[in-house]
């Protein structure tokens, strides 16, 4: 009994040891690096965008929609696509795509290693693609770049693959927290999508990096929330039911968008030209879309804010939703460099506002917010990230119930309609399947002493086989309690094991 008590005292709820303190200290440094990466990327995007659309060498973020280039605007994304294609061809092919699938692939099959040149080329290529009008967000590239710096930092100190993964994800979370001022959502994204575990050894460093990056964001980029709105009252039961319906609509739209992106990717695969030229074609689509409606160009943060405030209503929402979705899908399918979060926010907000117009619901800003969260949660299949992300972006915590209803129904729809999300489909197409359903292995919880039999039946090694067979046939309780018997010598030492199957084969 005493031995059992001592054994139990050695068991703990978690497997974390003091090594987590070292990783936490490193994660603080990674958080600082992540905030600087986010600042540098946004500065570069703003500088390139102002230069090519306004011939003004200033770093501030300004919408390309106010340009005066006329029809020449079509050429700007084309040139950007050409530069990105050349960088991918002669620099690193890993800069293609929207960042998160590449981070997943590095974690799952690359032993959490990301090359140094990717850390350099990814933000530059993304800044060129977005700065020249690409309808993307900065979050995917900054997640990939922050993760790359975390991986490089871990390799510098010769850490294990598991510890490299922790710092890679810490860098990714820090980048997202710095871009959007959403530290909690960044940690949830890490848990729901990148870590593939829920352990203090990884959770604590990632959370610290995210907090540090969000704190440093204030002097670098300003305080949040990024899209502050006037708080809404507590939502009643009727609004929650409509929110659940809005989630279903957003789930259908999410599924359509995912299929659209990979449908265009399949079309590009069939082109008889090298993939280096695909971003040029994607840039042409962006340029034509920007000529039709300049609001589809760039990250579109100002239009997202207008949607959430209820300032964008009417038929313009249809053009914004469908044109932005088509241009984004073509450009992303071409393999250029850019993120998916900001476009999803814009299209989800437009969908929610449009739904409020069709159903004649008051407060289009409320429904734009709910649609935005539902579109993100369904497309990325990270509902809790989408909920907290929206709350941190807007500062409107009274919407919690409506966001939960919309995000859960949206995820149900996409899970039933699609085998994989927009993020994991690209990884699966490279031959690597990801299971997003996390569960606890029962064999990790059951201890040997809980299932073992301490009083096992034994037979002497000099016992005749006939005697053993006779005792088994007589249903001797000592011989029939188990299918196997321990063979011992005269001193009771284990010499072997014999099973009933062994006896039958011998006979």
- Render 93-158 in DSSP notation, one character per residue: GGG-B-SHHHHHHHHHTSTT---HHHHHHHHHHHHHHHHTT-S-BSHHHHHHHHHHHHHHHHHHTT
Nearest Cα neighbor of 150 from 165, 166, 171, 175 is: 171
Q: Are residues 65 and 96 in the same domain?
A: yes
Pairing mode, strands 484-488 and 494-499 = antiparallel
Q: Which residues pair with 486 in a beta bridge?
A: 458, 497
Q: How many CA atoms lie within 13 A of 102 on its CB side?
A: 27
Per-residue pLDDT of 28-47, as tens digits, reads 999 999 899 889 988 998 89
Q: What is the pLDDT of residue 400?
A: 94
Q: What is the pLDDT of residue 5?
A: 47
Q: What is the pLDDT of residue 441?
A: 65
Q: Are residues 351 and 472 in the same domain?
A: no
What SS3 state is found at 160? coil
Residue 11 in any domain: the answer is: no
Residue 4 in any domain: the answer is: no
Q: Are residues 371 and 270 in the same domain?
A: yes
Distance of CA 89 to the CA centre of its chain: 26
Q: Are residues 330 and 303 in the same domain?
A: yes
Confidence of residue 440 (pLDDT cuts 50, 70, 90): low
Confidence of residue 82 (pLDDT cuts 50, 70, 90): very high
Q: What is the pLDDT of residue 486?
A: 85
Q: How many whole angstroms separate alpha carbon 174 and alpha carbon 186?
A: 7
Q: How far is CA 107 from CA 15, 101, 149, 183, 471, in A?
A: 21, 10, 14, 21, 57
As for how many domains the chain has, the answer is: 2
Residue indicated by tokens 């072997």: 496
Under DSSP, the state recorded for 339 is: B
Q: Are residues 272 and 223 in the same domain?
A: yes
Q: How many whole angstroms separate alpha carbon 52 and alpha carbon 177?
A: 28
Residue indicated by tokens 């995912």: 258
**Two tokens, residue 105:** 């692939």
Residue 277 has pLDDT above 90, yes or no: yes
Q: Are residues 428 and 499 in the same domain?
A: no
Per-residue pLDDT of 224-274, as tens digits, reads 788 999 888 888 999 999 999 999 999 999 999 999 999 999 999 999 999
Q: Sign of the CA dihedral 57, 58, 59, 63?
A: negative
Q: Which residues pair with 337 in a beta bridge?
A: 97
Q: Are residues 384 and 464 in the same domain?
A: no
Q: Are residues 485 and 397 in the same domain?
A: no
Burial class (CB in 10 A: 0-12, 13-18, 19+), 321: buried
Q: How many whole angstroms separate alpha carbon 186 and alpha carbon 494?
A: 56
Confidence of residue 386 (pLDDT cuts 50, 70, 90): very high
As separate numbers, helices (DSSP H) first and strands (DSSP E) second, the chain gives 22, 3
Residue 8 in any domain: the answer is: no
Average pLDDT of the residues in 174-180: 91
**Two tokens, residue 164:** 């490299």
What SS3 state is found at 495? strand
Confidence of residue 9 (pLDDT cuts 50, 70, 90): low
Average pLDDT of the residues in 365-379: 94
Q: Sign of the CA dihedral 122, 123, 124, 129?
A: positive
Per-residue pLDDT of 98-151, as tens digits, reads 667 776 677 666 666 777 787 788 888 888 988 898 888 877 788 878 888 888
> Which of 438, 461, 492 lies at the terminal end of a domain, its last residue?
438
Distance of CA 71 to the CA centre of its chain: 37
Residue 6 in any domain: the answer is: no
Residue 175 in any domain: the answer is: yes
Q: How many whole angstroms separate alpha carbon 308 and alpha carbon 235?
A: 16
The rounded percent of the chain whose pLDDT value lies above 90 is 38
H or E segment and range at residue 499: strand 494-499
CATH number of the CATH domain containing 496:
3.10.580.10
Q: Are residues 222 and 142 in the same domain?
A: yes
Biggest alpha carbon distance in the chain? Answer: 102
Average pLDDT of the residues in 190-213: 89
Residue 207 has pLDDT above 70, yes or no: yes
Q: Are residues 465 and 424 in the same domain?
A: no
Cβ(183)–Cβ(210) under 8 Å? yes
Average pLDDT of the residues in 276-304: 90
Q: What is the pLDDT of residue 95?
A: 79
Per-residue pLDDT of 306-341, as tens digits, reads 999 988 887 888 888 899 889 999 998 888 877 788
- Domain holding 481, by residue range, is 448-506
Q: What is the pLDDT of residue 462?
A: 84
Q: What is the pLDDT of residue 11?
A: 64
Confidence of residue 445 (pLDDT cuts 50, 70, 90): low
Burial class (CB in 10 A: 0-12, 13-18, 19+), 225: middle
Nearest Cα neighbor of 41 from 150, 130, 118 is: 130
CA dihedral 466, 468, 470, 472 (to 10 degrees): -150
What SS3 state is found at 46? helix
Confidence of residue 216 (pLDDT cuts 50, 70, 90): very high
DSSP letters, 348-400, are HHHHHHHHHHHTT-S-HHHHHHHHHHHHHHHHHT-HHHHHHHHHHHH--GGGH
Cβ(221)–Cβ(228) under 8 Å? no
> Which of 417, 438, 459 lies at the terminal end of a domain, its last residue?
438
Query: Is the previous residue joined to 104 through a cis bond, with omega within 30 degrees of 0?
Result: no
Residue 1 in any domain: the answer is: no
Confidence of residue 204 (pLDDT cuts 50, 70, 90): very high
Nearest Cα neighbor of 311 from 368, 240, 270 is: 368
Q: What is the pLDDT of residue 107?
A: 67
Q: How many whole angstroms separate alpha carbon 42 and alpha carbon 31?
A: 17
CA dihedral 343, 346, 349, 353 (to 10 degrees): -130
Residue 5 in any domain: the answer is: no
Question: Around Cβ 107, how many Cβ atoms within 10 Å?
Answer: 25
Per-residue pLDDT of 468-505, as tens digits, reads 787 777 777 766 677 788 888 888 888 888 887 777 77
Phi, psi (degrees; rounded to nearest 5) at 485: -125, 145
> Which of 387, 403, 438 lies at the terminal end of a domain, its last residue?
438
Q: Are residues 468 and 426 in the same domain?
A: no
CATH number of the CATH domain containing 390:
1.10.3080.10
Mean pLDDT for the chain overall: 85
Q: Are residues 475 and 424 in the same domain?
A: no
Stronger pLDDT, 304 or 435, i.e. the higher one:
304
Confidence of residue 284 (pLDDT cuts 50, 70, 90): very high
Residue 309 in any domain: the answer is: yes
């Amino acid at each position: 009994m005493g031995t059992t008590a001592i054994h139990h005292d050695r068991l703990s709820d978690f497997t974390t040891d003091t090594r987590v303190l070292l990783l936490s200290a490193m994660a603080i440094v990674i958080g600082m690096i992540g905030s600087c990466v986010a600042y540098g990327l946004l500065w570069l995007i703003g500088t390139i965008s102002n230069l090519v659309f306004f011939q003004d060498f200033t770093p501030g973020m300004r919408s390309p929609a106010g340009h005066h280039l006329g029809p020449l605007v079509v050429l700007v994304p084309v040139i950007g696509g050409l530069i990105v294609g050349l960088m991918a061809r002669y620099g690193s092919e890993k800069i293609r795509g929207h960042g998160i699938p590449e981070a997943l692939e590095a974690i799952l099959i690359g032993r959490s290693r990301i090359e140094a040149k990717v850390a350099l080329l990814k933000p530059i290529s993304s800044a060129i693609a977005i700065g020249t009008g690409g309808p993307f967000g900065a979050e995917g590239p900054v997640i990939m770049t922050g993760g790359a710096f975390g991986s490089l930092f871990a390799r510098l100190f010769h850490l294990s693959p598991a510890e490299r993964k922790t710092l890679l994800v810490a860098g990714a979370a820090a980048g997202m927290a710095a871009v959007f001022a959403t530290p909690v959502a960044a940690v949830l994204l890490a848990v729901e999508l990148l870590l593939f575990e829920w352990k203090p050894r990884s959770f604590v460093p990632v959370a610290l990096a995210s907090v540090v990056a969000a704190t440093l964001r204030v002097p670098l980029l300003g305080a949040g929330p990024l899209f502050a709105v006037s708080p809404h009252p507590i939502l009643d039961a009727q609004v929650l039911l409509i929110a659940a319906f809005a989630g279903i609509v957003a789930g259908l739209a999410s599924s359509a968008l995912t299929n659209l992106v990979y449908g265009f990717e399949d079309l590009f695969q069939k082109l008889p030209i090298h993939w280096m030229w695909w971003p040029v074609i994607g840039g042409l689509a962006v340029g034509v879309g920007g000529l039709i409606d300049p609001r589809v160009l760039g990250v579109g943060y100002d239009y997202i804010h207008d949607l959430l405030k209820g300032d964008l209503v009417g038929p313009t929402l249809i053009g914004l939703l469908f044109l932005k979705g088509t241009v984004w899908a073509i450009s992303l399918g071409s393999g250029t460099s850019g993120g998916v979060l900001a476009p999803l926010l814009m299209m989800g907000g437009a969908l929610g506002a449009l739904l409020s117009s069709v159903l004649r619901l008051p407060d289009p800003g409320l429904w734009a917010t709910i649609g935005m969260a539902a579109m993100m949660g369904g497309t990325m299949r990270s509902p809790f990230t989408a909920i907290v992300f929206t709350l941190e972006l807007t500062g409107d915590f009274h919407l919690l119930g409506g966001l939960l209803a919309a995000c859960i129904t949206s995820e149900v729809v996409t899970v039933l309609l699609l085998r994989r999300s927009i993020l994991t489909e690209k990884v699966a197409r490279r031959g690597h399947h990801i299971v997003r359903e996390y569960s606890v292995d029962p064999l990790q919880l059951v201890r040997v002493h809980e299932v073992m039999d301490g009083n096992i039946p034994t037979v002497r090694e000099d016992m005749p086989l006939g005697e053993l067979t006779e005792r088994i046939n007589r249903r001797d309780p000592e011989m029939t309690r188990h299918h196997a018997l321990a063979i011992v010598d005269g001193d009771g030492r284990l010499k072997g094991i014999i099973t009933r199957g062994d006896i039958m084969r011998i006979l």
